[in-house]
Amino acid sequence: MKSSDTSPPFKVRRSKIHGTGVFAARDIKKGARISEYVGDRISHAEADRRYADKADDDNHTFLFTVDNRIVIDGGIGGNDAKYINHSCDPNCETVIDARRVFIEAIRDIKKGDELGYDYLIERDDSDPPDVDVIWACRCGSPKCRGTMLLPRKPKRKKSKKAAKKKVVRTKQKSSGRKLARESSAVRSKLVTKTKTKTKTKTKTKAKTKAKSGAKAKTKKKGGGTTRRAR
């Protein structure tokens, strides 16, 4: 006789990693869909307004980016999935399916193990020098990068040849165009000053699964994760 246990496969309790954590209440198989990340579905502008007074050194957030339009605020109307901690060597990942966010196991998880996924929080040019300390990770994994933030992107070096060509093109186009460039620069500064900062973790992969006779369904694996409130 098959088990009719429909209770959540996890329990919430204190975590050694950070505050409250989520732990497997029974063995969980790789590929299992553990929970949906739910909460108040709002715009990025509303997320910024809602947490405008949040301290810069506060790394506590329940915001989760779905796409460039929707953010889920798990702090309002959310469930226990909001307590899943970050891990640099996770046993779970987030999957965006039809603009809904799900947590799935990426390997077999033993009863009692803490669940975790990589938050994939992006960096920003306006970050303070101690941003890695503010967003420090304590997952304890040998693969721990020490921070919940993504590694810094290496700056691309331009070849001398490419730089030379750029200078030549600038000289050719400079006649009668200076005023237009200055006006564009002024507009750019105005836009920059008024633009709302948004934090997204959008390193996503589109994965398409086609089932026999069924229409193809698009999923984003490991995408849209936790968003920093600014």
pLDDT of residue 172: 40
pLDDT for 211 equals 39
pLDDT at 118: 95
**How does pLDDT run across 53-103, given as a tens digit for each residue?**
887 777 778 999 999 999 999 999 999 999 999 999 999 999 999 999 999
Residue numbers of the chain with a pLDDT score lower than 50: 1, 165-218
Query: Residue 28's pLDDT is what?
Result: 98
pLDDT of residue 77: 96
DSSP string, the chain: ------S-SEEEEE-SSSSEEEEESS-B-TT-EEEEE-SEEE-HHHHHHHTTT--TT-----EEE-SSS-EEETTTT--GGGGPEE-SS-SEEEEEETTEEEEEESS-B-TTPBPEE---BPP-TT--TTHHHHTB-----TT--SBSBPPPPPPPPPPHHHHHHHHHHHHHH-TTTHHHHHHHHHHHHHHHHHPPP-------EEEEE--TTS--EEEEET-S-B----
Residue-range domains of the chain with CATH: 10-155+199-221 (2.170.270.10), 163-192 (no CATH)
